[in-house]
Amino acid sequence: MNSKKIINISLALLFAVSACKKSNVFEDPYAYITPDAAFSSPDKIEKSAVGMYDALQNLNFLCGRVLIYADQRGIDESPNSYFNNVGFLPNLTASDATASLSWRDGYNTIYVANNFLQNFQSKTDMVTADKANQYVGEAKFIRALCYTYLVNLWAQPYNKTWNNTDTTTLGVPLVLTASADPFAASNQVPRAKVVDVYSQIEADLLEAKDKLPAPSSDAFTRVARANKTSALALLSRIYLYEGKWQKASDYADSVMSYSSILKLNSSPELTFQSPYTSGESIFSVAMNGADNPNTNNSLGQHYGSHSRGDINVSGDYVALMDTLHDARYKKLIESYKGLFWTKKYPGITTDFVPVIRYAEVLLTKAEALARLNTAAADASALGFLNQVRLRSNSTLPVVAATPSALVDSIVAERRIELAFEGHGIIEFQRTGRALPAHYGIPATPWASQKSVMPIPDYDRQKNPNLAQNPGY
């Protein structure tokens, strides 16, 4: 399926979700389309499946905003009041509209995936077995992806619950069914424990990786629609977050087994240039000129020095790099009006949203090996780290004498390589590190009350079973 067909298909089905620009699929007005009509033929089922990706584009979540919020709450970019107090950690409240809309849109996408799964369950015989597996795998992948961001921004990190020393830390509500009645019991879901949310993410991704097809020969489809490598790569990230080092390593290996398709680009900026479908991109939320975030929501507008220009880059981040040699500085950082800016999103409104790419998988493999080998600095881990390092800076490979020094080097390299792609505060949380003072914001202790976002007041008013995070 080509890019125009995927991107322009509307969610004008039974799925009511506010997202990016859309065009209608059916002649019937949206209000009159029933589930039976939406799933009445193989073609309409296909369009319903593609509608899940349209829902993934929603303005306040994976159109790019949720990535921005993770980084606004980190230390490598300037907080901006355009996003209310999301980046000003001590000042964020449960009534903050920006945080609330992001929470809402994350669950809207989950609703669409759940709704597809429920309505497709009785229609699987209308398509081939391979197609049925693909559609279920896509829905499970999309649901798992949304929960990955929700649980990491609105709940304490998984490693606070390691070894079951804390089994009571609340995560986010696990909503696994879809109901049109907002007051239905199925919608009055309490928060699940963090460990249970991660278990559900794992279960969805494990099922998805078995059901999804191998990567398509069509580059757009390979990047814009989930396939086996998408699920395997996200599983590798999840296991890293959980501290399950061997599984993180094993699933990174599974991704790397597709080396005929996936590979680092020769230079770091190529991943972020149109058509955004190079071998380094594993899964992205796709955009184009007709179907994209508006000028107030796109990554390129917020990060572009000559666009809205809401987010400049910290000098401390720039100082992490050898500015004479590192291509990530020379080709992806711009100095303009006395400030630094990232050039990762030059398309303004058409940039794909980079969810996971091959460089991250290599660094995950490196970190997993480094943490597994506590006796010495693991040579293989160092090799994977330097694959990423030397792609951008061929003059300065990392040399680490001890296991702890190697882990520190890998974590630092992740910070440089994956900046402005939605890893910000999550990296500090998953590694048990306090957030240092920055931009006038005081230091934030690891897993403290303000290191997570509040459950929105609006949702708690509708759902009395929804407990608030402490401190809000």
The confidence band for 162, taking pLDDT boundaries of 50, 70 and 90, is low
Q: 325-356, pLDDT tens digit by residue?
A: 999 999 999 999 999 999 999 999 999 999 99
**C-alpha to C-alpha distance for 317 and 274, rounded to whole angstroms:** 26
Give strand ranges (E) for 187-324. Answer: 191-193, 281-285
Please check the confidence at residue 9 and state whether its pLDDT lies above 80.
no
Residue 284 token pair: 């992205």
Q: 178-234, pLDDT tens digit by residue?
A: 987 767 777 789 999 999 999 999 999 999 999 999 999 999 999 999 999 999 999
Residue 130 lies in a domain: yes
Q: Which residues of 347-363 are buried (b: 16+ CB within 10 A; e: fewer)?
A: bbbbbbbbbbbbbbbbb
Please check the confidence at residue 455 and state whether its pLDDT lies above 90.
yes
Please check the confidence at residue 17 and state whether its pLDDT lies above 60.
no
Range of the domain at 260: 3-433
Residue 470 lies in a domain: no
Helix, strand and coil in the chain, % to nearest 5: 50, 5, 45
Residue 446 lies in a domain: no
**C-alpha to C-alpha distance for 448 and 467, rounded to whole angstroms:** 17
Please check the confidence at residue 57 and state whether its pLDDT lies above 80.
yes
Residue 438 lies in a domain: no
Q: 248-259, pLDDT tens digit by residue?
A: 999 999 999 999
Q: How far apart are the first and last CA of the chain?
A: 46
Q: How many CB atoms lie within 10 A of CB 61?
A: 29
Query: Residue 131: what pLDDT?
Result: 98
Q: 61-98, pLDDT tens digit by residue?
A: 999 999 999 999 999 999 999 999 999 999 999 999 99
Residue 447 lies in a domain: no
Residue 442 lies in a domain: no
Into how many domains does the chain fold? Answer: 1
Residue 458 lies in a domain: no
Residue 466 lies in a domain: no
SS3 345: coil
- Mean pLDDT within 123-151: 98
Where residue 168 sits, what CATH number does that domain have? 1.25.40.390
